[in-house]
């Protein structure tokens, strides 16, 4: 087959800058583009949540993609599609929309993070079936459908059951990438049973009365990947830390590959970034201080010469480190630094962090409404990025941070240890803590602060971090080989 004839559809519940829940959104913002540069034709499909601003992102309706029928066993719902190009690329991104499911309802949720489970389960099923119906109306047949996390976990099974006899999908392969092992899409089986044919509902992976979307996807996808080799090994070897996903991955380990994330170095480059206060590079680092001042002003915190600024960018749930951060806050503010917490999620954590910030108005600030501009400014303005998440398949934020001379302090799990060179007497690009405790976390932050106050040593760390190559080139090449091998089988 000719190189340009390979077509890949990427399906995800989140893509930055349209909507960001986790590092998956950052991954989706650059990964399809990297694979296009390897010779594949890439397109993206995602839900059109009510929170996505059509005007801001220049979404427009496609008349021939209106009123697509999505059959859900006992009823038929209509699907409408809007489209735009992924920013900084020409990759077509299709937004699947139905007013009933998406106008007022929030993002996809499951039993572990609340929400209207009956309505949400219908929404997830509608989206997955809608992807396949949209492809047929579009008349664009992908060679591979690359599913990301549980949001798209139903697609491999649908292709092997109700769509197996559909000639349009003959020879279409599926890949599932596991980004968040702790988010598995646990949803009530009775809704699937009501809306899907028996051949589909009977093949779903169930635990009691609930369906596990990620496990179901992992059973039926042709190929499985995750975002670092270390994390792939952890999923296969550490059953207790995989939240029940371990057995299927162990069973399919010959088809399971860990490939490290990369970043779009055109979008994430401090010397060209239009979203930060002042651009800078290794030979003109004074611009980083200007970004720090602008960020402090944005956060309502005073600037003090020589006082370090640390930041946290997480989802407010225990998996991403909100509990450890909560346990560590008192210890952190005693270290005479300023702290900006960016995130959203569990309202109890949100209230706790905001109440804590109110007690330390000159030292701590919380932002729950950060958008792309603030994210870039934060990455540029922080002196160090604190990463308290316990489970990180690879992560993207530490890659952004190091590229901007912001030094990460992170828990040594998953792909973190593959991307951060731990600081020693002679070299390093970040700090790692190994015991998942508030004492270990705060102790490592103190070690980082000791280095910060040694200007010559800190400069060395910053320059080493900024000199690392985090481009997609190597990783995209690995995916290229996997895709081509899969298509030859």
Report whether 73 belongs to an annotated binding site. no
Q: Are 211 and 224 in contact (CB under 8 A)?
A: no
**Residues making up the binding site:** 20
**Residues making up the binding site for ADP-alpha-D-glucose:** 20
């Amino acid at each position: 087959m000719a190189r340009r004839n390979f077509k890949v559809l990427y399906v995800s519940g989140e893509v930055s800058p349209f909507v960001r829940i986790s590092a998956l959104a950052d991954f989706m913002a650059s990964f399809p583009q990297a694979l296009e540069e390897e010779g594949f034709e890439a397109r993206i499909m995602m839900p059109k949540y009510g929170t996505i601003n059509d005007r801001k992102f220049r979404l427009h309706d496609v008349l021939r993609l209106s009123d697509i029928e999505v059959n859900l066993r006992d009823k038929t719902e209509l699907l409408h599609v809007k489209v735009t190009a992924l920013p900084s690329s020409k990759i077509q991104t299709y937004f699947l929309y139905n007013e009933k499911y998406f106008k007022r309802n929030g993002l996809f949720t499951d039993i572990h993070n609340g929400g209207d489970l009956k309505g949400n389960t219908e929404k997830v099923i509608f989206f997955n079936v809608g992807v396949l119906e949209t492809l047929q109306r579009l008349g664009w047949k992908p060679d591979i459908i690359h599913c990301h996390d549980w949001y798209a976990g139903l697609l491999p099974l649908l292709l092997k059951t109700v769509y197996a006899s559909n000639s349009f999908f003959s020879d279409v392969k599926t890949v599932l990438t596991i980004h968040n092992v702790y988010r598995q899409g646990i949803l009530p089986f009775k809704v699937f049973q009501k809306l899907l044919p028996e051949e589909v509902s009977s093949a779903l992976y169930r635990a009691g009365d609930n369906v596990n979307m990620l496990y179901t996807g992992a059973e039926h996808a042709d190929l499985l990947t995750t975002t670092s080799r270390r994390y792939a090994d952890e999923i296969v070897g550490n059953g207790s830390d995989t939240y029940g996903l371990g057995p299927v991955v162990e069973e399919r380990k010959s088809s399971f590959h860990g490939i490290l994330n990369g970043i779009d170095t055109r979008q994430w480059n401090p010397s060209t970034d239009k979203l930060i206060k002042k651009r800078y590079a290794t030979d003109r680092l004074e611009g980083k201080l200007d970004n720090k001042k602008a960020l402090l002003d944005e956060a309502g915190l005073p600037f003090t010469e020589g006082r370090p600024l640390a930041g946290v960018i997480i989802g407010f749930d225990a998996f991403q480190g909100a509990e450890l951060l909560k346990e560590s806050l008192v210890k952190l503010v005693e270290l005479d630094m300023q702290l900006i917490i960016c995130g959203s999620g569990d309202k109890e954590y949100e209230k706790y962090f905001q109440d804590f910030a109110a007690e330390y108005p000159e030292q701590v600030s919380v932002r729950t409404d950060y958008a792309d501009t603030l994210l870039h400014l934060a990455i540029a303005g922080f002196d160090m990025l604190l990463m308290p998440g316990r489970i990180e398949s690879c992560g993207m934020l530490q890659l952004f941070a190091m590229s901007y001379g912001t030094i990460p302090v992170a828990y040594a799990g998953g792909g973190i240890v593959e991307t951060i060179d731990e600081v020693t007497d002679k070299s390093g690009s970040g700090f790692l803590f190994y015991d998942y405790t508030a004492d270990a976390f705060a102790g490592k932050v103190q070690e980082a602060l000791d280095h910060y106050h040694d200007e010559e040593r800190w400069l060395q760390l910053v320059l080493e971090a900024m000199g690392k190559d985090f481009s997609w080139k190597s990783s995209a090449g690995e995916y290229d080989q996997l895709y081509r091998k899969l298509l030859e089988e």
